[in-house]
Structure 1
Amino acid sequence: MQENNLTLAYEFFLLGFKVSLNYRIFLLFLLLVIYCAIMCGNLLIIALVSTSKNLHTPMYFFISQLSISDILLSTDIVPNMFYVLLNNGATITFIGCLAQICFFCTAEGYECLLLTMMSYDRYVAICNPLYYVSIMTSSFYVNLNILFWFLCFSNTFTYILSASRLKFCVRNTVDHFFCDIVPLMEISCSDTFPLKLQMCLLSIPMLLIPSIIIIISYGNIVRAVLQIQSNMSRQKAFSTCSSHLTVVSIFYLTLFSVYILPANEQTSEVNKIMSLLYTVFTPLINPIIYSFRNKDIKKAVQETIQKYL
């Protein structure tokens, strides 16, 4: 494998976390517990939304789709992370690396679009309640959901095509716990400017525009709620948005800290910790936020338990 007197690398070594054996074992068991909780919590939400007629509404449909995305994201990252922790680093093929990037980018992109749609749903429900039923029809949000998945797969496919053309000369060590597009570009000996430009252009419809829509939606929501005279009605309106706003804040803050902030402002270890937040922590807290703080979910759980007891 010679090209221009340089040895090309077709597999990568994921460094993982540079900690002692005891810390790695602790982190391994912690991640195992978290992964089990992620699967149980999100599968529970999917089952409840699918079986409970009271939850057959646009918002709960979006929540169930968010659970599907969280399962896809965590399953793409966490099991391989177990192997990395057990072996204090692990080798992954170029094809395997691209496959992990594919599922990761698709799940992350889909969550960006889905959270945007959820904020719009809350905007219509609070600011235009009389038109809510006519706007948020089942055909509208189901077709929109299909479109979101299609757009994310198409977007990811362009990344994969560009990344597959990168060349990696001798240096094949990735200072991360999973394959991500940014660490790959850092060790590539190819010209990465076209890929960086492509990422910037595609981030406009996938990240920038959704962020603007969320800010505008919640700006209008806050303005509408503050105009409500009754304190009880105002508190009820805010409570319907608090769960979603919490999820959006955590997701976007961690995502922007990793991909938007300049790389020289944070170390690789800080970058890994922030990546853990949106790949592991966010899929864990999503079902917690939407179940423990939601009366409809609690009621559906109680009805299901009573049905089978």
Structure 2
Amino acid sequence: MNPKILIIGACGQIGSELTTKLRHIYGDNQVVASDISYNNLDIVNSGLFEILDAQDYASLKICIEKYEINTVYLMAAMLSATGEKYPMKAWDLNMNSLFHVLNLAKEGFIKKVFWPSSIAVFGPTTPKVNTPQYTVMEPSTVYGITKQVGERWCEYYFNKYNVDVRSIRYPGIISHKTLPGGGTTDYAVDIYHKALSDGHYECFLTEETELPMMFMDDAIKATVDIMQAPTESIKIRSAYNLAAISFTPREVAESIKKQLSDFTISYAPDFRQDIADSWPKSIDDNEARKHWNWSHEFDLDAITNEMLTNLEKKTLQNS
């Protein structure tokens, strides 16, 4: 099947870089980007683009029929920290958009769906070290609840209606191309911005808060890999554990100091600390590595080098 792709939430942190990658692989005319506004002109101007509300079933169906879409990447979501401020909005956006896409697939309008889950499905009772694929999931955030429920619905639609839906549990994602998007792990993006602009960062987590993290290039690679994998290789239809590295704010600061020796960090934990404390420290992703040959490329120092180099370039271009 030659994919004709719709990306919903294409202007977001992951969506924007995924759009660029998929256009590179399949061609600009094969990938339709969509979002609720024109807030990322690079994405808007580099190929087909539609204004689309993921909660509007009729508009979504019209767009899919107009472009003869057969593959949907549903990247629109309200993330963890923002979701705690607006719980009902987070529930409505995260769940309604998923139901619309799954129902369109059930009705035969879509052949393949990617929907991202998250380590937020885990909670305080989950084993924190090398969290297994199958384990206790009692999420304590609205975002985590929507992701856990979403996983169950994905698996249900596969088992009941044979919908080819694929999912991975993203850890914290680090990127130099987009600004932090309201997630608890976003400190690991903001710290690089502040290291260059201020020489100091005040972290909203404690120095020893260890969380699973991943460079954006690896996250995009995983997303493409799972969607390109043969159907018979995808043996888990809820969501796959996905991992690269785990680190603490102190370790990021030490990595930054190797390049910026005057950099300093202080700590002022806020409500996001409770969220972080409910999440795993490290993830066991053996099933993803075994079933569809997942592997990551970037360690912490490689991430730091990519972040500082590219953010410095961007600053020079804008000055």
Give TM-score, length-normalised by structure 2. Answer: 0.27
Q: Quick check: which one's helix share is greater?
A: 1
Give TM-score, length-normalised by structure 1. Answer: 0.28
The structure with higher relative contact order (CA 8 Å, sep 6+) is 1
Q: Quick check: which one's strand share is greater?
A: 2
